[in-house]
Chain A
Amino acid sequence: MAELRNVIVFTIGAVRYALELRWVREVVSLGFVTSVPTAPSALGGVCNLHGAILPVLDVGVLLDDVPGLPARQGDGALVVEAEGLVCALRVDQVDHVASLHETAGAVTDATGRPLQLLDPGRLIRRALELVTVQAERTA
Chain B
Amino acid sequence: MSDDELDFDPDELAMLRQLFRSEAQDALETVTARLLASGSARPSPEALTEMMRVTHTLKGAAGTVGRHAMVDLAHRLESAFVALGREASPWTAATADRVVEVLDALRGYLDHVDEPNADALADALRAQIDHISRPHRPAASQPPAFVEPLPETVLGPESDAGPPPEPKAWLRVDPERVDALMSSAGELLFDRTRIERRVQLLRTLARDLARTRQALHDAVVDDTAVRSPARIALVDAEVALAGQAALLSQTTAALLDEIEALRRTIGELQRGLTRIRMESARSLMTHAARTLRALRRATGVTVELRTVGEDTEFDKAVAEHLVDPITQLLRNAVAHGIEPSEERSAHGKPPVATITIRARQDGHSLVLEVGDDGRGIDTAALSKRLVATGAWSAARARLANDADVLAALLDTGISIRGEADELAGRGVGIGLVRQTVAKLGGEVKVASTPGKGTTFTLRLPLSTALAQAMLFKVDGQVYAIPSVHVSETTLVDAHATTATVRLDVVPVLRLEQLLGHGAATDRKPAIVVSFAGKRLVCTVDKIIGVREIIIKPLGPLLAPLTLYAGATVSGSGKVQLILDPAQLVRRTHPDAPVAAHTDPGASSAVLAGRALVVDDSRAIREAMTSMLGNEGWIVDVAEDGARALQMTRQVRYDLVITDLEMPELGGFELIARLRKDDRFKTTPVVIITSRANPEHRRRARDLSVRALVAKPITRRKLLEALSAR
Residues of chain A at the chain B interface (Cβ within 8 Å): 31-32, 34-39, 43, 46-48, 51-53, 55, 84-87, 124, 127-128, 131-132, 134-136, 138-139
Contact = CB atoms under 8 A, between A and B. Distances in A.
B574 A55 contact: no
B345 interface: no
A46 B516 contact: no
User: Chain A CB within 10 Å — which of B201, B560, B563 has the most?
Assistant: B560
B401 interface: no
Contact of B555 (A51, A86, A136): A86
B560 A32 contact: no
A139 B204 CA distance: 17
A128 B595 contact: no
Contact of A53 (B514, B554, B595): B554
Contacts, number: 84
Contact of B573 (A39, A48, A134, A138): A48
A47 B576 CA distance: 9
Interface stretch (B7-15, B377-385, B564-572): B564-572
B515 A139 contact: no
Contacts of B552: 51-53
Given A35-B477, A46-B567, A48-B569, A53 B575 contact: yes
A123 to B, nearest CB: 11
In the A-B complex, the 9 residue pairs with the closest CB atoms: A135-B560, A34-B575, A37-B515, A32-B574, A132-B560, A48-B569, A46-B575, A55-B557, A53-B567
B168 to A, nearest CB: 39
Contacts of A86: 555
B562 interface: yes
A48 B575 CA distance: 6
Contact of A127 (B557, B567, B577): B557
A34 B563 CA distance: 15
28 contacts: A32-B572, A32-B575, A34-B576, A35-B477, A36-B561, A36-B577, A37-B516, A38-B561, A38-B563, A43-B558, A48-B573, A51-B569, A53-B552, A53-B555, A55-B557, A85-B556, A86-B555, A128-B556, A128-B557, A131-B558, A131-B561, A132-B201, A132-B204, A132-B560, A134-B560, A134-B561, A135-B560, A139-B595
Contacts of B667: none
Contacts of B595: 139
Contact of B441 (A43, A51, A127, A128): A51
A51 B553 CA distance: 11
A128 B204 contact: yes
Contacts of A134: 560-561
User: Chain B CB within 10 Å — which of A53, A127, A128 has the most?
Assistant: A53
Given A32-B573, A85-B556, 5 more contacts: A32-B575, A36-B564, A43-B557, A43-B558, A135-B562
Interface residues of B, number: 30
Interface string B471-493: 00001010000000000000000
Contacts of A37: 475, 514-516, 563
Nearest to A35: B477
Contacts of A51: 441, 443, 552, 569
Interface in B256-290: none
B575 A47 contact: yes
B575 to A, nearest CB: 4
B575 A39 contact: no
A89 B453 CA distance: 40
A1 B569 CA distance: 49
Given A53-B567, A139-B595, A84 B561 contact: no
A55 B564 CA distance: 14
User: Chain A CB within 10 Å — which of B477, B516, B575, B576 has the most?
Assistant: B575
B366 to A, nearest CB: 15
Contacts of B572: 32
Contacts of B441: 51
B660 to A, nearest CB: 38
A34 B552 CA distance: 14
Contacts of B443: 51
Contacts of A127: 557
A85 B567 CA distance: 17
A46 B577 CA distance: 9
Interface in B519-572: 552-558, 560-564, 567, 569, 572
A47 B572 CA distance: 12
A55 B553 CA distance: 12
Contact of A131 (B553, B557, B576): B557
B204 A85 contact: no
Contacts of B574: 31-32, 34, 48
Interface string B590-619: 000001000000000000000000000000
A105 to B, nearest CB: 25
Nearest to A73: B574
Nearest to A131: B560
A125 to B, nearest CB: 9
Given A85-B557, A132-B204, A38 B577 contact: no
A138 B555 CA distance: 19
A5 B567 CA distance: 38
A17 B201 CA distance: 32
A84 B562 contact: no
B561 A135 contact: yes
Given A53-B552, A55-B557, A31 B562 contact: no
A138 B477 CA distance: 20
Given A32-B575, A53-B567, A46 B554 contact: yes
B585 to A, nearest CB: 13
Contacts of A138: 563
Contacts of B555: 52-53, 55, 85-86
User: Chain A CB within 10 Å — which of B516, B555, B558 has the most?
Assistant: B558
B548 to A, nearest CB: 16
A47 B563 CA distance: 18
Contacts of A53: 552-555, 558, 567, 575
Interface string B504-520: 00000000001110000
